[in-house]
A = this chain, B = another copy of it.
Amino acid sequence: MTKKRILISMLVLLLAGWSSAATGDEDGSRLWLRLDPAATTATITGVKGTAMTELQTYWQGGPIVLKRQKGMPQDGYTIKSQGGKTVIAASGDAGLLYGAYHLLRLQQTGQPCDALDISEQPAYDLRILNHWDNPNGTVERGFAGKSIFLNPDPARMQMYGRANASIGINGTVLNNVNAKPEALSTESLLKAKGIADQLRPYGIRVYLSINFASPMRLGGLKTADPMEADVVKWWRDKVDEIYKLIPDFGGFLVKANSEGEPGPQDFGRTHADGANMLAGVLRPHKGIVMWRAFVYNPQSSDRANQACEEFMPFDGKFADNVIIQIKNGPVDFQPREPYSPLFTAMKQTAMMVEFQITQEYLGAANHLVYLAPMWREFFSFVKPSSLRAMAGVANIGDNVNWCGHHFAQANWYAFGRLAWNPSLTSGQIAEEWLAQTFFAPNDNTPQACKTQILDVMLASHEACVSYMMPLGLHHIFAGNHHYGPEPWYKPAGVRADWTPPYYHKADATGLGFDRTLKGSANVRQYPDELCRLYNDINTCPENVLTWFHHVPWDHKMKSGRIFWDELCHKYDDGVHQARHFLAVWDALQPYVDGQRFGEVQRKLRIQARDAEWWRDACLLYFQTFSKRPIPQDMEHPVHNLDEMMQFRIRISNYENPACGYTK
């Protein structure tokens, strides 16, 4: 060892010691990458780059060789133990980096690392975060502070790169799908270039959301008609400008003719016309267009029908570098939706799923809701191989702990892991996340506690569905936020499909939206077998029952209860589960640092109270239609409907409620 190296080692030791002594408390800023720098630098040889520096800093094992190897699949890697060394091989830097993080994960979770024979490749080439960040730094449906891209902090950008690379995410859309034309101004592009340069070492490409009317509103043209030559030229020039700054720029994400955003239909053109024009100017640079299918208009009698109605005519009409980006469900990121039938209807179009990592409809950054089970449920209906890529709306902000809720980090993590390999189970992912985030290989946390918190994660999405919208209920949120319940919200003048009664259709006879062949016929958009299953109230899975049926209050459920009683019990079960989560967490107090323990505990308490709010508001409101008693064998509502109807949370779309129901 040189003197210099000894000095550095001492410094590292000192820092590590200081950090564990001074903290005990952790702030969550290290996410799941909580390895302390290794005491001595391991011998890493071979390809220089981020993989090497990460291993040099954190690897605590024997020598590693980083090897470039032709013919391997993009981003794939092998890790093999060979003659006392560990060899990571890949065709390029990204694969080596993913291999390095794989190895570090094994080390951090205490797996044996001495007889490795690993071969990995991702299910999708494109694994992309969508940031809904606005130019002023607000984040739409962001519950963790301001945009990290507003004034990109180098250390923060580095950590963002490491975190994403460690789970295989290789693309990021920097701005909100409700995009301002200024997103393409030279000033913005220079900023994007700065970010791209910071993320490139971590294998991450940047993308931008664009406003379809940019040629007019930014370029001063008279039209944005995609068939007009100067519009196409404007786009071509703009794209050339971008690629000069960012040679590996990924492409555009487009929300067009949706919720007031401009699109080709404003100029008498189709989604295909618009998407293909952009695809054309991007093709020379190998850029892509991700064209969103999230469309609905107030005239349709069933919002759930509209993506298919608008997009099916263009199946097979899109250019090969266009991918249609479809939300997992046909409405909008509800706690539970059936899958969007567009996924199985379209046969000749490249598709990608858009999951929402940020919990817009799932308790924001206050509720512990682990989303992997929800995404896995989607994949049980939509074959992973039928998709070209995966996108996730990020839950990241400038909060110290990145996501507002320590457990929300698990959703970022799980999204990345599933985009790499959608056949990983929710439990596998949660277990490895917990092991890295809260525990250490040889810590003294009893196995029972670890199992219980794992069970909490796995049960949390279903619990949230139970206390918010069980049995297929959807979109009964408050008028001015998507956090609490207002199933009664229906002020005059608001378009019907923005009010809960449009969705729940409660009346004296029952509850739910008749989407059968006798109703809106939404079931017809599904493959025949599913169509028959959903169409019959006696075969329709009960977890989507009121999604597809207007269910009579006395409909007999599989439990033997009538529907009303079952609904009551579901809500009450959700409340009890939320309380149970708190109890499980509390038992972990001796084993989790004080800061994170307290912060999570505070959130779990909010969640337990909110669960009661949901149960009481929804049951008491629906009871005004069902005219039936709350079953005697469950806990009864403790709030009053009239008081809850007066209660308001005044928040914007850019913030997390400080707490939930406070009456």
Interface residues of A (CB under 8 A from B): 579, 582-584, 586-587, 589-590, 602, 605, 608-609, 612, 629-630, 632, 634-640, 643, 659, 662-663
Contact = CB atoms under 8 A, between A and B. Distances in A.
A142 to B, nearest CB: 24
B639 A605 contact: yes
A605 B640 contact: yes
6 contacts: A579-B638, A587-B629, A590-B629, A612-B638, A662-B662, A662-B663
Contacts of A635: 579, 583
Nearest to A631: B583
Contacts of A634: 583
Contacts of A605: 637-640
Contact of A636 (B586, B630, B632): B586
Contact of A582 (B583, B586, B636, B662): B636
A629 B629 CA distance: 37
Contacts of A636: 579, 582-583, 586, 608
B663 A638 contact: no
B586 A629 contact: yes
8 nearest interchain CB pairs? Answer: A608-B638, A582-B636, A583-B636, A605-B638, A579-B635, A609-B638, A662-B663, A586-B636
A612 B609 CA distance: 11
B629 A589 contact: yes
A638 B581 CA distance: 11
A583 B632 CA distance: 6
Contacts of A579: 635-636, 638
A165 to B, nearest CB: 37
Contacts of A632: 583-584, 586-587
Contacts of A630: 583, 586
Nearest to A578: B638
A584 B640 CA distance: 17
Contacts of A584: 632
Contacts of A590: 629
A583 to B, nearest CB: 4
A542 B620 CA distance: 40
Contacts of A609: 638-639
A560 to B, nearest CB: 20
Given A582-B636, A583-B632, A589-B629, 10 more contacts: A579-B638, A583-B634, A583-B635, A586-B629, A586-B632, A608-B636, A608-B638, A609-B638, A609-B639, A643-B659
Contacts of A662: 662-663
A645 B659 CA distance: 16
Nearest to A602: B640
A639 B609 CA distance: 8
A325 to B, nearest CB: 39
Contacts of A612: 638
A609 B663 CA distance: 10
A584 B635 CA distance: 10
A464 to B, nearest CB: 16
A582 B638 contact: yes
Contacts of A589: 629
Contacts of A608: 636, 638
A583 B630 CA distance: 8
Nearest to A612: B638
A587 B630 CA distance: 8
Nearest to A634: B583
A158 to B, nearest CB: 35
A132 B632 CA distance: 40
A620 to B, nearest CB: 10
Interface-centre pick from A590, A638, A663 (highest chain B CB count, 10 A): A638
A583 B631 CA distance: 8
A635 to B, nearest CB: 5
Contacts of A640: 602, 605
Nearest to A587: B632
A520 to B, nearest CB: 36
A444 B136 CA distance: 66
Contacts of A629: 586-587, 589-590
